[in-house]
Structure 1
Amino acid sequence: MNFIKISTASLKTRVSDVDYNTTEIKSCINEAINANSKLIIFPELCITSYTCADLFYQQKLLEKSATAIKNLCDFSAGKDILISVGAPLTFQNSLYNCAFIIFNGKVLGIVPKSFIPNSSEFYEKRWFSNGNKIKSSNVNLFFQSSIPFGVNLIFKCDPFKFGFEICEDLWAVIPPSSNLALMGANILCNLSASNELVSKSTYRKNLVDLQSAKCISAYAYASCGVHESTTDVVFSGHMIISENGSTLNENERFSRESDIMSAIIDIDKLNNERLKNITFRDNTAFYEEEIVEIPFIYSDTSIKKFDRYIDKHPFVPSNISERELRCKEIFNIQVAGLAKRLSHTGLTKTVVGISGGLDSTLALLVMIKTFDLLNLPRKNILTITMPGFGTTDRTYNNAVELCKNLGTDFREINIVDACIQHFKDIGHPTSVHDVTYENVQARERTQILMDLANKENGILVGTGDLSELALGWCTYNGDHMSMYSVNCSVPKTLVRYLVKYVADKEVSKNISEILMDILHTPVSPELLPKDATGDIVQKTEDIVGPYELHDFFLYYFMRQSATPEKIIFLANQAFNDKYDETTIQKWFDKFLHRFFQQQFKRSALPDGPKVGTISLSPRGDWRMPSDASNNAWKS
């Protein structure tokens, strides 16, 4: 499935002791191979050590360095791993700080450092020349001739394409890695020697994450460690592996032993992002230089132990503080969307159906904050509860108490008699509890809400969420329709956290207690008669499947355009402690069937704000024929 495991290395070195450093490099290579890695990135000038200073002028050191490269080539023969090491290179009477890329017994290519720092604690220009003008050249070493040399080299084993830059290059206004990405590289590598200063590690990490995001790539960074010379500065051996803006792995700095760090990269994810990103595609037109692709072939890229972290709930940050910030931002986006709609229309009233469930609760909380923001009285929010055949005391009481405590204009309209009359009108027995029985109730409620909105000169605010839209779990021209839908791009797994955020941060204790009970109520449309005990009999997740699975399927189907095989594989990895493979497959088949079958509902959606990276709006993110076939996605 085009995953690849890569490693970075932080070395225990001795300054100018090439033999010792080479031994440590070999040890790390073996460790990476044992970890099933297919690439290992060593720090800048790791063969000699970075802090040799004027010793770089010594012919003996340069000879030892070249011999070490030969030694590593011999060592790499028969090994299925791409190796990048830092070493000096003499070329046309100048010395260059280079990355040597080695695979299976030979040097595939050599990449010079483009930008040489020469200020503050760095004074590399005393020894090294800028390599940014070197393109499509060749160099000869004593053991190998005609080795590609330049900054325009891409090392390619489809679909994996590697590009290399060195330390300061990343700090440039336009880093070489930006050009390498436009040339096709999807794994960018940095051999570095970045000293430690207060807060510099945070800046460095942000820089790596940002570059991986801008380049829609993986970015692997390896810096030299504490055994470099400490005459003036200290190095920490910082290592970072990021993927499209997210840190996959970061080491504990200041280790005194050689160490490797690994992560699994999802190349299909990156390539799909590039395919959809028009700005990235357009930027490739600006790169007109010759691209030198250097092919090589891995004998096997299968991953023996898949240890990439797969989040069960990709819409919900696992970090608590980050989750709180995300919820606050989403809530404010919803509020801003509704506020604009009210100010544009000049209307000062809203209508919403309150069931005592999560979605209508979230919509009401958005309305409360919007009205407070616009200095409108909460009594202008008409909250309507419409008990039917399946309404339970728990949801009814929660709806009543919530609206009263929030100070809205609360009204109750029982729909039972109206529905019974409608059953008579269309000749439907009340004893037949089929889809007609359910949809009559949903449409009766929407008719009441729409007509009340007209009567009160307001707008009907919709409550349906993204997960329900994906599954088509709504009644066409019933709860499917509104005049503005504030939850339309909020998935069900996130609705819970948004309501909890408001309960924790935005409301009084008594309201918070009501919200917490709503959070612990099973999700149900309550359209079928309750049982003898008065409990809910119709639980949505028993019918359509767990929402956490459907949100997982939706994320990978929409965000990454992943194949069914990959989605099932990732779901098995994420939920192996909760669902077996048969259960996951069953609900994925249900997801696919309903997603394709119910597109006609999404083709006629009301307006509503996009809050995350995924939306099913027919005017924006998702344009799909209502009669498209899902046969190509069936297993």
Structure 2
Amino acid sequence: MGWTVTVAVCTLNQWVMDFDGNLRRILQSIEEAKKCGAKFRSGPELEITGYNCEDHFYESDTRLHSWQVLATLLKSHVCNDIIVDVGMPVMHKNVTYNCRIAFLNSKILLIRPKMHLCDTFMYRESRWFSPWTKVRAVEDFFLPRMITEITGQSVVPIGDAVISTRETCIGFEICEELWHPDSNHIPMSLDGVEIISNASGSIFEVRKAHSIFERVKMATTKCGGCYMYNNLRGCDGGRMIFNGTSCITVNDKIVNHAKQFSLKEVEVTTATFDLEDIRTYRNLVRSRTHSAAKSQPYPRVKIDFCLSSSDRIVKSVTLDRAKFGEYNSVDNERDEMILGMKFLTPEEEISMAPACWMWDYLRRSCQGGFFLPLSGGVDSSSTACLVYSMCHMVVEAIDKGDKQVLADVQKIVGDYEYIPRDAKQLCNTLLVTCYMGTDNSSTETKLRAAELALQIGSYHHSIVIDVAISAILSIFQQVSNLTPKFKVHGGSPRENLALQNVQARMRMVISYLFAQLMLWVRGRPGGLLVLGSSNVDEALRGYFTKYDCSSADINPIGGISKDDLKKFLIYFREKYGISSLEKILDAPPTAELEPLQVGQLVQLDEIDMGMTYKELSTYGKLRKLECAGPFTMFCKLVRLWRDCPQKEIADKVKHFYRCYAINRHKMTILTPSCHIESYTPEDNRADHRPFLYNHTWKWQFDAIDRELQVNVSSDQHEMIDKKGKDTTKFRSIRLTSYSGKAEPEAIV
């Protein structure tokens, strides 16, 4: 006998503290779920308030408005005849919990608090919530009067319980509980829970999507059953963008899933399955049945409601592989086979994640577009291409009939009859780019910037800002009667640095002037958001001027490594046929702040920094992800860089940590960026560390020197070949990151 059940997971683009908009999107998702025949609708974590309310969770107003939204849902006819679970904060006995509230036909069934909180990297849930620690136990929760007036209930159960319908049983996990070693779905499945809903607020990081699907799939591979994974989408008001990818898994097979990236605010994903298939799957795993026979029972909330339909034949659910791009990486073939689906490449993820984040920020900030200082280098060109990618996604959504996206575009441009024809035309409307040249700028960078602007369609200007710089310097000269000089003209390092910084900071001032007035020039209302374009590696090293044009309203590439940006531009060039990117990729990175010599560049980023971008990326991952201090980093790099002499590795580590300490204060004022890489040094949310260090690191560096001395004899011994001949003098010449010149290494 078949018991066919249809369930729905929801991917919502919520906005923190936007109770009206969040309610509207929740109601829309419930309505769409019912149209698809679903009898159980689940949603993402904290969907009523938005996930990133942060210290707003301390406010009683936040809890009050959450109950008001829930009251509206309980009264709505849209919510009739379907089990709905939604997420919101709940205070019980003066303790605030992150909860799911399940209700049916204007009656609350269960309040289920989160039992394992997430405090890893970008998360710090225990700052606002406490975990529910009473396993398989419930207590009485006394409802607010506004809810009692609707439901007629004064008390409902709160705690670790499940819901029993006429034919099946529903359990709940909340985000981190899936990732925790002691996952709740295991004991629930042993106690006969056949449908488990997970409400998540999982953020995007590049190369992460496959791990989510792998965990969801493994939950039902071991336990059988239906696992419903709900996630948020887009930017809800902070530096994070949520990963989307809601999905439904039945007995180790992902039967349907939502898109990873989309401008669609509400996406409902449904699946229909047979409960008998779950029972057969579980019964065949005999070791599981023996464990289930002695499992401890969960408290059950029993309801007179049936999820299953009278249909005995389950209609097949076709997995829409077009929702994910081609996953060509050889390294990830294993994951593709495990999950049975294809994923976006990192380059595709980078092309879409910051674009979606920018779109949410633009449409919700009530600004008229973006202003970007376009230098013709990899970083600012990547930012420009991400705006172009955003425009492509907007036009595509409008072509597919997304009325909300069209309404947002019309509001942004101030024209309610405007319909964008193509991405290039929309980019011209939304993006103003400007090349700000000085006497130290090369003709090549100016031409590269202009060519890229032409190909993506941005409204572009090339200006010279020397007169503004001279005016600033003249003020100093009047006061001091001294004229600072560049190093090549006989100036000191202090003079040289000051002259570079005044150029960079003047670009920031001009950027904000143009951002405020360019739409006035074009006859449109409003202003522009200034875009920054410094990458995650430069932030880690502190290789930027404090309050220069890296200081902006938002920075789409602030969480992306230099290496990934280059790969992204290669992909973008091929996808959209933007030939100008080839010259940009071939050009060496340079700040162009020192004088040219015979019209040619002499200042290169990697020489200035004393390290390569690839080295920076490695330092960043070791420092953050592997929690390595100077000594541990040295030890790990000795194993990682086997062909590099240990003395050189020691010098590199010391140089990095000196620069890191000296420039750490810059992290406190970084322009908000879209979180992409897990090793971001962004101070506000991801990387809580001091910003004043003793830059000598004496104790740590002494430890490196002692380790180096211990290893000297063994290194020399390894360099004696089998014939007993000392081959150290025949070492190959390597390109060092300190001088940029080919020099023989010192013999240790």
TM-score bracket for this pair, using the shorter chain length: 0.3 to 0.5
Q: Higher Cα Rg: structure 1 or 2?
A: 1
TM-score (norm 1): 0.47
TM-score (norm 2): 0.40
